[in-house]
Structure 1
Amino acid sequence: MAVISIDTKAKQPPTRDLPSSKSLPEALPKPKQSHDHPTRSNVNTNASLFFVGTATTILEWEGLRLMTDPNFLHAGDHVHLGPGVTGTRETNPAVNLEDLPNIDAILLSHYHADHFDEKVEASLRRDLPIITTPHAKAHLSQKGEDSFTAVSALDFWESLTVNFDSRTPTPAEQKDTAKPQIRVTGMPGTHVPPGPGNFTRAINDIIKVIPPTNGWMVELGYSSAPDSEDAFKSGYRIYISGDTLLFDDLHKIPEIYSSHTGKPIDLMLIHLGGTTVPGPKMPLLMVTMDEKMGIQLMKIINADLTIPIHFDDYDVFLSPLSDFRKAVQEAGLDEKVVYLDRGEEYKFEVRK
């Protein structure tokens, strides 16, 4: 298993183009609202998930900030998604890229401009750790002098451990030898309709409009021996679907991670929206889940809680969040979902 180490005490600007006159914020903006678990009070919360917009979230735990799929364009901005395919953003992010506090690492599901826009690609510091797909690493690492230098690639079922220096421990915590650690595992995903002999897949292999994508299993926990895989004890599991459609390999996830195997999934971040290509005026192909697929995935994964993201930020989304809300209600799953607006957070506890 690959290992990367992050020094969270070495605070560096999140962007390369931060104006010299602008000081780096110490924290994220105060959330518009904080949400707890819908059926029980999280009195001992020690972690949070801040929703920026589209698939961009910021996880904060033990002094580390992990950002997913950074996209910070504004309403009216355009993204190029492949030959003849563009999207227009219809919302604003909850915070601007240049107003972020220090970001320690990025989790990038795939190399698509609505998940890693041109401004982000131009602005992020080149030594920022990025965990992504082999396809995305090839693009990010082969830019000559402008290459990103700390990119790690994970294919399906491959794992990587993140060791990091956390905040200064309290005297009581200093007696505990367990150190915070994150384990990231690539989960299966497909951004194009699955199936053998699929014409769309064959065409995409030629024109390459839709890149390969990963889901992720992010396990937050502690280890008394950071160099030993067996010493890691997960205290919270987050499954991130990525821009996948439903396909058979997703059923392998609960075979490994579930309450039945002793590895329950605490939270699922589900990418929705019913994204269409080449666009809303000609919706020939759906490449992310709509509300019906979302309900099916909830039943497959059976996470304790689901938070929908990636649902209305671009004009290529044809399945709004209201469709998913209705489907959740009809399925009797209301107590298994928390809805975050941009600028809101979900607080939870990582068990020790």
Structure 2
Amino acid sequence: MTQIRITHIGGPTALLEIGGWRILTDPTFDPPGRRYAFGWGTSSRKTTGPAVSLSDLPPVDAVLLSHDHHGDNLDVAGRTMLPGAGTVITTVAAVRRLGHGEGLRPWATTELRATGRPTVTVTATPARHGPPLSRPIAGAVIGFVLQWPGQERGALWISGDTVLFRGVREVARRFDIGTALLHLGAVRFPVTGPLYYSMTARQALRVCRRIRPATAIPVHYEGWQHFSQGRETVERHFAGEHGDLGERLHWLTPGTPAELTV
């Protein structure tokens, strides 16, 4: 088994330290208070700032960017750090807009290689940022599966902003997932009524029933007005589950590194 360190910075942003690698997910470092437009009449205000400032962030070897076109996944400050972040792995559409990075389509892979460090294989996983037929509006999003030598509990999966759909179920079929970082929050907007644009607590429970991770880590469920479900709702759904899935939930304290065995 190997040890990794995860620091939840806020929202979808987490620093993963794996065998000498520093890998950052969805950089968001803007202060709270600003309202961000997401297109088609939708918007949201950021209510909580990052637990680690950009100036205190250590050098980053790679960024896993699920998508670039929403300010709660890549904000103004986050964009400033991308040119010095080493490898940026994201969607094909994001590479076109950003002008740099490595674009992956779902199920495509790439590798992080460096002398003295384990080779990390990164596989892009499908994500759908909303209800059926919403992809032309919500845009392309991917998640990521990370694999490296020495994993005994399974791969690490970062879901990205997605609802439960066939592509997410396929992740469970293709991979043995040991650690899952799940983007939750049940995003909703007044203009589209009851429709959800990220996983609900009920969907997260169904995902975990399928993948049976050793550790499930909720992220991206707080700090923005457009979230309709928080920690209490997630815990309530998992507490009513037969078996030990509730015990596999691992809540990170923003800014505080957590050591995990994988």
State if a TM-score over 0.5 links the two structures. Answer: yes
Determine the C-alpha separation between the residues in 2 that align with 1:343 and 1:154. 29
Please tell me whether residue 121 in structure 1 is matched to residue 79 in structure 2.
yes
| Equivalent residue in structure 1 for 2:221, among 292, 299, 311 | 311
**Does the 8 Å CA contact 1:221/1:235 hold for their aligned counterparts?**
no
Partner of 2:139: 211
| Equivalent residue in structure 2 for 1:274, among 186, 207, 218 | 186
Determine the C-alpha separation between the residues in 2 that align with 1:159 and 1:123. 24
**Does the 8 Å CA contact 1:51/1:58 hold for their aligned counterparts?**
yes
Counterpart mapping for 1:57-72 below 5 A: 57-72=14-29
SS in 2 for 1:180: coil
Determine the C-alpha separation between the residues in 2 that align with 1:322 and 1:218. 29
Determine the C-alpha separation between the residues in 2 that align with 1:126 and 1:51. 21
| Deviation at residue 91 of structure 1 after TM alignment | 1.1
**Does the 8 Å CA contact 1:191/1:287 hold for their aligned counterparts?**
yes
| Equivalent residue in structure 2 for 1:340, among 252, 255, 258 | 252
| Deviation at residue 113 of structure 1 after TM alignment | 1.4
| Deviation at residue 277 of structure 1 after TM alignment | 2.6
**Does the 8 Å CA contact 1:220/1:236 hold for their aligned counterparts?**
no
Tell me the alpha carbon deviations over residues 219-266 of structure 1, each in whole angstroms, 9 at most, x when there is no partner.
1326xxxxxxxxxx8885101111111112222222221xxxxxx311
Q: Which has the larger radius of gyration?
A: 1
Poorly superposed stretches of 4+, deviation over 4 Å? 233-236
Read off the aligned partner of 1:121 and give its amino acid letter.
R
Ranges in structure 1 where 5+ consecutive residues have no aligned partner: 1-43, 142-147, 167-178, 223-232, 258-263
Please tell me whether residue 163 in structure 1 is matched to residue 163 in structure 2.
no
Please tell me whether residue 250 in structure 1 is matched to residue 168 in structure 2.
yes
| Deviation at residue 123 of structure 1 after TM alignment | 4.2
Tell me the alpha carbon deviations over residues 7-50 of structure 1, each in whole angstroms, 9 at most, x when there is no partner.
xxxxxxxxxxxxxxxxxxxxxxxxxxxxxxxxxxxxx7632111
* Structure 1 residues 127 and 51, CA gap change in structure 2 (3 angstroms): closer
SS in 1 for 2:119: strand
| Equivalent residue in structure 1 for 2:4, among 29, 47, 52 | 47
Partner of 1:153: 103
Please tell me whether residue 326 in structure 1 is matched to residue 257 in structure 2.
no
Tell me the alpha carbon deviations over residues 63-103 of structure 1, each in whole angstroms, 9 at most, x when there is no partner.
21000001112221222222432211111211111221111
Determine the C-alpha separation between the residues in 2 that align with 1:268 and 1:188. 15
TM-score (norm 2): 0.91
* Structure 1 residues 283 and 126, CA gap change in structure 2 (3 angstroms): farther
Determine the C-alpha separation between the residues in 1 that align with 2:17 and 2:81. 22
Instruction: Figure out how many residues of one structure are paired with residues of the other and give that number.
Output: 259
SS in 1 for 2:9: strand
**Does the 8 Å CA contact 1:220/1:235 hold for their aligned counterparts?**
no
Determine the C-alpha separation between the residues in 2 that align with 1:71 and 1:136. 16
RMSD, aligned CA:
2.1
Tell me the alpha carbon deviations over residues 275-305 of structure 1, each in whole angstroms, 9 at most, x when there is no partner.
11357xx745310011111111111222121
Tell me the alpha carbon deviations over residues 46-69 of structure 1, each in whole angstroms, 9 at most, x when there is no partner.
321111010000011222100000
Please tell me whether residue 138 in structure 1 is matched to residue 65 in structure 2.
no
Tell me the alpha carbon deviations over residues 116-136 of structure 1, each in whole angstroms, 9 at most, x when there is no partner.
102221343357310001111
* Structure 1 residues 250 and 123, CA gap change in structure 2 (3 angstroms): closer
Determine the C-alpha separation between the residues in 1 that align with 2:123 and 2:9. 23
Determine the C-alpha separation between the residues in 1 that align with 2:186 and 2:19. 35
* Structure 1 residues 234 and 80, CA gap change in structure 2 (3 angstroms): farther
Partner of 1:240: 158
SS in 2 for 1:66: strand
| Deviation at residue 159 of structure 1 after TM alignment | 0.6
Determine the C-alpha separation between the residues in 1 that align with 2:160 and 2:208. 14
**Does the 8 Å CA contact 1:89/1:314 hold for their aligned counterparts?**
yes
| Equivalent residue in structure 2 for 1:300, among 184, 198, 210 | 210
Read off the aligned partner of 1:132 and give its amino acid letter.
T
